[in-house]
């Protein structure tokens, strides 16, 4: 089980540039993103989790339990919802450990490199095995060739002797 707050893919969306940026350590624990710079609810870069949908569902669930007059004026407590959502234990196959100072995109590039290196190592191992198999086959083929040439040579000598004997 993992937490989104410990994942390298959790991101803060910059309100001005719309870029996904690293969610800093202080904000990961508290769930509080500075509202003037970032959208209040963080984003999962690989879309493994819908944090806004979870936070909105939490808001609606709380609001629906309230009496009617209070319900109409109830404001979302985004910081509280986000803190609970990103610190919740969950099973996520796309989780990648957060490395401070790296953006979600850089975390994805690191994972892509790891996958590529693993694939390359597997390909090189398969190639090595194929070369060994080819080498064994060629070695056996060479022996067959030597035996074939030896048999042909012996037959040529026998035929030569027989022809020499009968032609006299």
Q: Tens digits of per-residue pLDDT, 65-78?
A: 877 776 767 778 88
- What are the residues whose beta carbons fall under 8 Å from the beta carbon of 94, sequence distance 6 or more? 9, 46, 48
- Confidence band of 101 (pLDDT split at 50, 70, 90): very high
pLDDT of 168 higher than 90:
no
Query: pLDDT averaged over the chain?
Result: 89
pLDDT of 27 higher than 90:
no
Q: Which of 7, 23, 6, 28 is nearest to 82 (CA)?
A: 28
The overall pTM is greater than 0.85 = no
């Amino acid at each position: 089980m993992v937490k989104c707050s410990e994942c390298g893919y959790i991101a803060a969306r910059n309100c001005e540039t719309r870029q996904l940026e690293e969610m800093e350590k202080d904000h990961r624990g508290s769930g509080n993103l500075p509202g003037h710079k970032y959208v209040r609810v963080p984003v999962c870069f690989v879309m493994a989790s819908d944090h806004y949908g979870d936070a909105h569902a939490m808001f609606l669930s709380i609001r629906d339990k309230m009496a009617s007059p209070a319900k109409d004026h109830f404001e979302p407590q985004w910081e509280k919802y986000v803190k609970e959502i990103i610190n919740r234990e969950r099973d996520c196959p796309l989780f990648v450990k957060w490395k401070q100072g790296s953006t979600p995109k850089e975390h994805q590039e690191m994972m892509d490199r790891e996958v590529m290196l693993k694939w390359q190592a597997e390909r090189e191992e398969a190639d090595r095995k194929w070369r060994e198999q080819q080498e064994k086959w060629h070695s056996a083929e060479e022996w067959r060739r030597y035996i074939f040439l030896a048999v042909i040579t012996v037959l040529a000598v026998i035929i030569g002797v027989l022809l020499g004997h009968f032609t006299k």
